[in-house]
Amino acid sequence: MTKNELTNTKKINPSTLLFTFTFCISLIFSLIIIVSTSLLIKKTSKEIMSKYYESCETSLKGYNKAIELKIENYFTALNTFFDDDFLAPASNNEIQQFLISHKYKNHSDFATVFYVDKTGTEYSQSGKIYKVLERDYFNGIIKDGKDYFISSPVEAKSDKHIIFVIAKAVKDSNRNTKGMICASIELDRLKETLKDINISITDSIMIIDENGKFIANPDSSLLFKSFTPSSKEYKQYSSLYVAQKREGILQTEINNSEMMMLFFTPTKNTTWTTVLSVPLSEFQKIQRKQNLKVWIVVIVGLISLVFMLFLEFITYRHLQKKQKFTSVYDQITNLWTKEKFEIEAKHMLKNSPKSKFMMLEADIRGFKFVNENYGEEMADNMIKFYGHMMNDVCKKEHGIMCRAYADHFYIFIKIPSTHKAMVYFKKDLEIFSDQIKRYVLPFTPKFGISFYNPENNTEDVSIQGLIGQASFAKSAIKDDALTQYSVFDSKLLEKRNEEIFIESNMESALANEEFFVMYQPKISLKTNKIIGAEALVRWNNKQYGLLPPDRFIPLFERNGFVTQLDFYVYTKVFEFIQRQISQNDNIVPISVNMSRNHGTPDVFMNDFSKIFRRYKVPSQLVQVEILERSFMDNNNLKEITDRLHAEGFSVAMDDFGSGESSLNMLTSIPIDVIKFDRMFLKESTDKNGKISVKSELFIKSLIELCKNLGKETVFEGVETVSQRDFLKETGCDIVQGYYYSKPLKESEFIDFMKENI
């Protein structure tokens, strides 16, 4: 692999990285903003609530003060009614006379002013006399010896109005209490006062006396009654509870199960408690407002996040476009990259839709070998040389080109006609050959060619499509070094269509058991008996009938499906061996093919052993054939051989002599069997079935070499008796070929074993 190829593999796109980074940052920021704002709002919401509490308490104090002032005002009015010097010596009658004659001095709120002596006799302004022994103010002043007293609400003796009485002790000349001067005030008067200072519709102010009875209440049905909530939970918070507690805040329920917050405080100089009640819903309203604010912040935050992401997305797209633009040139050759090439080729096609075009894919035969054996620098230099050599010609033809990857180049040229294009191309090939011959390390170029002809191309062909066709044409070049190019034509098109069909059907075919295994016997030349067999896969395809592996294995090797197929074949083979053993029937060691595509030795061995362990089959009955031209280097080849040996399997080197094998490999890797490629015999045999003398010597010495190294030798493709005789003479151990048997169906193979074991 070249350096460029390495750097090209799965690199994380920097703009993707940038995008992810900014995405995360903005997400974190947005979250921080949302969380901190909602915390701040919660905090201010708490502050607002406590301010609301405070304002409730302030208004309560205000109400209370108003009541206190009113009462103070009543007492002042009472105090100024009489001169103490007059009262001390005055008789009850004198006092009553004074009251009657000074009625005009009554405070406007006073219903009446009256005097009560020590015996509980009331001298009223109407001139009448009542007994008030049972009144609380009488007890308060006379019995308890208080100087001032405010009574609970009572019914007036005169007109049955609800009143309360303020009383002040009257002293005789010895400073002993001789009676009291009183004023009765209708409760409605006090209510009037409260009405003036009410601040909101929902709040209401109440006054409760020491027994928990309402002196003032907006609900007049509750006046002079106490109240206990009906629900169990709030039962304890009765008006009596408030009257006794006198100061505080509590939450309770009122009649219609409405929740209320009660703020209450004692009224100075009285046994009364002033209560401010605010519906809980007021507080909840404020809270809801605050919560709404939090939601607004969160939603605005989210909207701005989405907006930010949208901006980032646009920037990302822009960056991506820019990046595409900057990745125009390939680092090794300074030619265009594949992306740039595709864009430009598309332009060319679009700008002259009536013209003909030629697409070439070029690479170097055996480039992998150069890379592995001569090193990265040499390989890179070869790519540079090859690229520049083609670019000179391409420029001359007014075409465009790029390095797509590794040693693969694409060229796109506008042409006058296919015929002329091929004439020029062949001339150019000669120029290339001359130049390559003079290069430090001569190599063979390989070309796949496809044409765009608007007259023929009825279907829309894209640049990618043309590249695909050129690439397919190149892959159709067989391994002979003489063919340097291949043109995509109708035959190849048919083949390509077949491949497309095969690819889209392979998975279902595997599931439907369309693949099956045939067995080709291996014969010992010493005994002329069967000594083993090779498992070979076939596909009973619903469209193309029975397909030989050449039609699908190369494609599966390209698309990677071959590894799945291999494991399927292994399963079928192990099943077969197990069945034969369990039925006490004949069986010989079976070799299975391992395709080039398997991953590391570790991965392959894990999967292989996992499947094998499911069957009761001795490992000596299984041989694995590894292709000489597998993608494995010598280290991996050695590792896999060692690990297969460790589990008791034998290992064969398949198609020996078909690739660039080094004889050195024979000594360094402990392979058990060398399977000579069929081309060996084919190329050595003449029309009359005779082996040439030169080949005879070569094959003989190879077999001898293998024998000296302790390897078993197998020859494939033995078709004639003279080939068999020759091999027997050279000391070859085993043969496999049509001379003995073609690959056989399982049942036929069982019969073959019976006859030849």
Residues that bind Ca ion (CB under 5 A): 593, 625, 654-655, 716
Q: Alpha-carbon torsion 529, 534, 535, 539, what sign? A: negative
Q: Which is nearer to ligand C2E, 170 or 506 (CB)?
A: 506
Q: Which is nearer to ligand C2E, 409 or 749 (CB)?
A: 749
CB of 535 to Ca ion, least distance (A): 9
Distance, in Å, from the CA atom of 395 to the CA atom of 36, rounded to the nearest integer, reads 64
562 near ligand C2E, judged by CB under 6 A: yes
**Which does residue 659 bind out of Ca ion, ligand C2E, none, counting CB within 5 to 8 angstroms by kind?**
none
CB of 663 to Ca ion, least distance (A): 19
For residue 510, count other CB atoms closer than 10 A to its CB. Answer: 15
Provide the residue type at 621 as one letter: L
Selected binder of ligand C2E within 569, 640, 702, 750 (CB under 6 A): 569
Q: Which is nearer to Ca ion, 229 or 743 (CB)?
A: 743
CB of 659 to Ca ion, least distance (A): 12
Helices 14-79 and 187-197, axial angle in degrees (round to 10): 150
CB of 640 to ligand C2E, least distance (A): 15
537 near ligand C2E, judged by CB under 6 A: yes
Residue 151 gets the label, from left (phi > 0), alpha (psi -120 to 50) or beta, of: beta
- Residue 661-700 contact track with ligand C2E, rule CB under 6 A, x = bound: -----------------x----------------------
Residue ranges of E strands in 695-755 = 712-716, 734-736
Cβ atoms 627, 637 nearer than 8 A:
no
**Token code pair at residue 164:** 């309360």
Distance, in Å, from the CA atom of 206 to the CA atom of 225, rounded to the nearest integer, reads 12
Q: Which is nearer to Ca ion, 625 or 733 (CB)?
A: 625
628 near ligand C2E, judged by CB under 6 A: no
Kindly give the residue spans of alpha helices, DSSP state H, lying in 80-138: 84-87, 92-101, 136-138
**Which parts of 580-609 interact with ligand C2E (CB under 6 A)?**
593, 595
Cβ atoms 563, 597 nearer than 8 A:
yes
Q: Which positions ≥6 away from 29 have C-beta within 8 Å?
A: none
Cβ atoms 210, 246 nearer than 8 A:
no
CB of 637 to Ca ion, least distance (A): 16
421 near ligand C2E, judged by CB under 6 A: no
Selected binder of ligand C2E within 553, 587, 624, 651 (CB under 6 A): 553
Q: Which is nearer to ligand C2E, 59 or 520 (CB)?
A: 520
Selected binder of ligand C2E within 550, 664, 687, 694 (CB under 6 A): 550
Distance, in Å, from the CA atom of 299 to the CA atom of 424, rounded to the nearest integer, reads 69
Distance, in Å, from the CA atom of 476 to the CA atom of 491, rounded to the nearest integer, reads 11
**Which does residue 562 bind out of Ca ion, ligand C2E, none, counting CB within 5 to 8 angstroms by kind?**
ligand C2E
CB of 614 to ligand C2E, least distance (A): 19
330 near ligand C2E, judged by CB under 6 A: no
Cβ atoms 319, 20 nearer than 8 A:
no
Q: Which of 593, 535, 595 is nearest to 560 (CA)?
A: 595
Using CB under 6 A, which of the segments 20-28, 405-413, 487-495, 545-553 binds ligand C2E? 545-553
Q: Which is nearer to ligand C2E, 377 or 660 (CB)?
A: 660
Tokens 């608007």 identify what position? 454
Largest separation between any pair of C-alpha atoms in the chain: 172
- Which whole-number Å values give the CA distances from 88 to 40, 102, 112, in the listed order? 69, 18, 21
719 near ligand C2E, judged by CB under 6 A: yes
CB of 423 to ligand C2E, least distance (A): 38
Strand, helix or coil for residue 427: helix
Residue 97 gets the label, from left (phi > 0), alpha (psi -120 to 50) or beta, of: alpha
**Token code pair at residue 756:** 């030849």
**Which does residue 689 bind out of Ca ion, ligand C2E, none, counting CB within 5 to 8 angstroms by kind?**
none
CB of 705 to ligand C2E, least distance (A): 21
**Which parts of 69-98 interact with ligand C2E (CB under 6 A)?**
none
Burial status of residue 196 (CB atoms within 10 A of its CB: 0-12, 13-18, 19 or more): exposed
**Which parts of 231-250 interact with ligand C2E (CB under 6 A)?**
none
CB of 492 to Ca ion, least distance (A): 26
136 near ligand C2E, judged by CB under 6 A: no
Q: Which residues of 336-358 are buried (b: 16+ CB within 10 A; e: fewer)?
A: bbbebbbebbeebbeeeeeebbb
Q: Which residues pair with 592 in a beta bridge?
A: 624
Q: Which is nearer to Ca ion, 410 or 656 (CB)?
A: 656
Number of H helices, E strands in the chain: 23, 26
- Which whole-number Å values give the CA distances from 466 to 475, 476, 508, in the listed order? 14, 15, 29
520 near ligand C2E, judged by CB under 6 A: yes
122 near ligand C2E, judged by CB under 6 A: no
270 near ligand C2E, judged by CB under 6 A: no
Selected binder of ligand C2E within 549, 589, 657, 731 (CB under 6 A): 549
Q: Which is nearer to ligand C2E, 432 or 515 (CB)?
A: 515
738 near ligand C2E, judged by CB under 6 A: yes
CB of 675 to Ca ion, least distance (A): 5
Distance, in Å, from the CA atom of 162 to the CA atom of 186, rounded to the nearest integer, reads 6
4 near ligand C2E, judged by CB under 6 A: no
What is the total count of residues that contact ligand C2E (CB under 6 A)?
A: 23
Query: What's the CA angle centered on 289, arms 285 and 292, to 5 degrees?
Result: 135
Q: Alpha-carbon torsion 422, 427, 428, 429, what sign? A: positive
**Which does residue 733 bind out of ligand C2E, Ca ion, none, counting CB within 5 to 8 angstroms by kind?**
none
**Which does residue 460 bind out of Ca ion, ligand C2E, none, counting CB within 5 to 8 angstroms by kind?**
none
Strand, helix or coil for residue 250: strand
Residue 397 gets the label, from left (phi > 0), alpha (psi -120 to 50) or beta, of: alpha
Residue 127 gets the label, from left (phi > 0), alpha (psi -120 to 50) or beta, of: left
Using CB under 6 A, which of the segments 364-372, 416-424, 608-616, 713-721 binds ligand C2E? 713-721
Distance, in Å, from the CA atom of 62 to the CA atom of 70, rounded to the nearest integer, reads 12
Selected binder of ligand C2E within 212, 743, 750, 753 (CB under 6 A): 743
Q: Which is nearer to ligand C2E, 546 or 646 (CB)?
A: 546
CB of 538 to ligand C2E, least distance (A): 7
Q: Which is nearer to ligand C2E, 348 or 681 (CB)?
A: 681
Q: Which residues pair with 363 in a beta bridge?
A: 446
Selected binder of ligand C2E within 361, 717, 732, 749 (CB under 6 A): 717
DSSP state of 139: I
Selected binder of ligand C2E within 655, 669, 699, 749 (CB under 6 A): 655
408 near ligand C2E, judged by CB under 6 A: no
Q: Give backbone dihedrals phi and psi of 226, rounded to 5 degrees, phi first.
A: -100, 170
Q: Which is nearer to Ca ion, 23 or 739 (CB)?
A: 739
Q: Which of 474, 562, 463, 518 is nearest to 749 (CA)?
A: 518
Using CB under 6 A, which of the segments 132-140, 172-180, 225-233, 715-723 binds ligand C2E? 715-723
Q: Order of strands, edge to edge, in the sheet holding 400-405?
A: 400-405, 408-415, 356-364, 445-452, 485-487
CB of 719 to ligand C2E, least distance (A): 4
**Which does residue 719 bind out of Ca ion, ligand C2E, none, counting CB within 5 to 8 angstroms by kind?**
ligand C2E
Selected binder of ligand C2E within 737, 744, 752, 753 (CB under 6 A): 737
Selected binder of ligand C2E within 77, 716, 733, 749 (CB under 6 A): 716
- Can you give the binding site for ligand C2E, defined by CB under 6 A? 520, 536-537, 548-550, 553, 562, 566, 569, 593, 595, 654-655, 678, 716-719, 736-738, 743
